[in-house]
Amino acid sequence: MSNQHNSDELKKNLTEMQFYVTQHHGTEPPFTGRLLHNKRDGVYHCLVCDAALFNSQSKYDSGCGWPSFYEPVSEEAIHYLKDTSHGMERIEIRCGNCDAHLGHVFPDGPQPTGERFCVNSASLSFTDDQNGDQTKG
């Protein structure tokens, strides 16, 4: 898997934070993301390639400061990698289509999966089921 977009193209189309998060495995500050408190029905997509990642029905308030989901839309939607940066061992999650960094997954989520997909708003766009409006994180 490799990113399908070139760096210059992405720099033109993404904010500095969106580029930092998706391309340099960055993290937006907690409690600052545009989609953290979004409660509308719809689908969360990869900001870089528009691939569907999470349904709103799997979103919940974990209190961690980033949008949290208990499952992706499909197994193929997410790519998992071991991350040993910052003196921790975590599982990084990336877009299964374009490999953009999304965040991390932890084993402390609610049932039915017990997983918490902790995702940067800056890596997502949201499409509202009711009116089709799209909000970029």
pLDDT at 2 over 60: no
Separation CA 122–CA 125 (nearest Å): 8
Q: What residues have CB less than 8 Å from 62, skipping those under 6 apart?
A: 68, 109, 116, 118
Catalytic residue among 35, 51, 73, 118: 118
Separation CA 24–CA 119 (nearest Å): 15
Distances (CA, A) of 137 to 1, 20, 47, 48, 108: 24, 13, 8, 11, 24
pLDDT at 61 over 80: yes
Q: Is 49 labelled a binding residue?
A: yes
pLDDT digits (tens, 9 = 90+) for 97-119: 999 999 999 999 999 999 999 99
Report which secondary-structure segment, H or E, holds 19.
Answer: helix 16-24
Output the pLDDT for position 86: 80
DSSP string, 84-111: -GGG--EEEEEETTT--EEEEEES---T
User: Is there a catalytic annotation at residue 118?
Assistant: yes
Q: Is 64 labelled a binding residue?
A: no
Instruction: Report residue 76's pLDDT band, with 50, 70 and 90 as the boundaries.
Output: very high
